[in-house]
Each structure stands twice: as C-alpha cells, then as structure tokens.
Amino acid sequence: KTQKNLRRNFTKAEKQAYHLGKSVVNRKRFNRFLRVLGPGLVTGAADDDPSGIATYSQAGAAHGYGLLWAFPLMYPLLLAVQESCARIGAITGKGLIKDNYSKKMLYLAVVLAVTANTINIGADLGAMAATTQLFIDLPIAPLAIFYAILIVVLVIFVNYKTYAKILKWLAITLFAYPATAFLVGQDWQQVLSHTFATAPTIDLNAIYILVGMLGTTISPYLFFWDTSEVVEEEIAKHNM
C-alpha cells in the first residue's frame, strides 16, 4: 500500500510538474506574441491617422457606399505588407533598407520618405486642428501649432517605453469605429451588397479618391517603421 501511495503521489507530482512547465512555456509564447503584436498594433493604429480619416470621410461624402468594393482588395494588401515587414525585422534583426541595399537606394528612400512624411504630418495636423475647431471656435493655424508642439514635447521628454505603452493603450480607441457603425444604424444589406456584389463604377473622380485611399491605407513610412519597431522591441527583450 505504501509503495502504491508513493507511486500515485509521484505520478501526481509528475503531472503537476508537466502542467506547470507547459503553462510556463505557453506563457512565454503568449508574451512573445504580445511583444510582436505591439509594434504592429501601434503601426496599424498610426495608419488610421487624421489625414486618413479625412480622406475616407471625403470618399463617403462624395460616393456614399459606392467605393466599399475597394476594401476587400485593400485590406489583404495592408495585412500582407505589415506581416512581411514585421517578419523581416523579427527574423533578420535589421532595418528594411540600411542593411539590405546600397547607399544610393538608402538615400533615395530617405529623401522620398522625408518628403512624404512631411506632407503627411502637415495633413494630420491640419485634420486634427479642423476637428478641434468643431468644438472650440479658434483658427486652424494656432491649433495646428499647438498639436505640433505637444507631440514634439511628448516625443522628447517622455520615456520611450512609457510612450510606447501609452500608444498601445490608445489603440483601444479604434474600437469606437465599429461601435459607431452600429450606434448610427446602417442598412446592412445595402452595405454588404455594395461591398461584395456591386459592380464598381469608376470615373476620374473615383480614381482620384481611390489613389488617396490607397496612399493613406498603405503608407510607405509604415514599411520602415514596423520593421524598425519590431527590431527595437526584440533587442529590448534581449532576444537579439
């Protein structure tokens, strides 16, 4: 009886140790998943910038449901781009351009990225100021300057890890979009019909809006940012 009891206790101890080890491994995997998810989450949230919101608002105001057919095409492209960039950073531990291409390509990419980013930041600040103007009766220029100074102060004086955590938590606000869609009320049959079943009507104005939608959905700076942020996260956790 004593031997049987010892064997049972030993078997229980083995099972407990096995389950404990398994839970530790699963927790490590989940933590790594969160670390890899973080940069992609912040990058994806950053892609939903004020200029993008303004672009989609203009598209909806001008065409109604008429451009919904573009989203089943753009969304897989956005996922593929972010996934590829994140995997490049996680596997190689290097940026997207500097360590993989010549200096000429690097300089060209930097010039194009700086130009595009400057225009994009200007559009973002203008959209933020215009949105604030709906609540506060102030000129757009001072509001845009205020937001520019506020962002610069946060970037310079707030610790990087703290700032990154703040941005991750702010990404939760994106759930306001689907919530708003349900609260406002939509003819969902018509929405689905225009998204998947309607033959697209394309004219010069629609092409102009589509180019803006593609540009604000799959922005070039996201490629570099996503890859670099994944590398920084992995280095900070001593995985590289």
Summarize pLDDT for 164-196 with one digit per residue, the tens: 777 777 777 777 777 887 887 788 888 888 888
**What is the secondary structure of 106-155 as a DSSP string?**
HHHHHHHHHHHHHHHHHHHHHHHHHHHHTTS---HHHHHHHHHHHHHHHH
Question: What is the reported pLDDT for 73?
Answer: 85
- Residue of 190, 182, 217, 198 whose CA lies nearest to 43: 217
3 state DSSP class of 66: coil
Residues in the chain: 240
Q: What pLDDT, on a 0 to 100 scale, did the predictor assign at position 29? A: 62
Tell me the three state secondary structure of residue 239.
Answer: coil
Cα–Cα distance measured from residue 160 to residue 77, given in angstroms and rounded to the nearest whole number: 30
**pLDDT digit string (tens) for 71-100?**
888 888 888 887 787 787 777 777 777 666
pLDDT value at residue 4: 46
Residue 207 burial by CB count (10 A; 0-12/13-18/19+): exposed, middle or buried? exposed
Global pTM?
A: 0.62
pLDDT at 6: 44
Identify whether the C-beta of residue 41 lies closer than 8 Å to the C-beta of residue 232: no
User: Mean pLDDT by 10-residue block, N- to C-terminus, for the chain (240 residues)?
Assistant: 47 54 57 58 68 81 85 84 79 71 78 82 85 88 92 87 78 78 81 80 83 79 73 62
State the burial class of residue 214 (Cβ atoms within 10 Å of its Cβ: 0-12, 13-18, 19+): middle
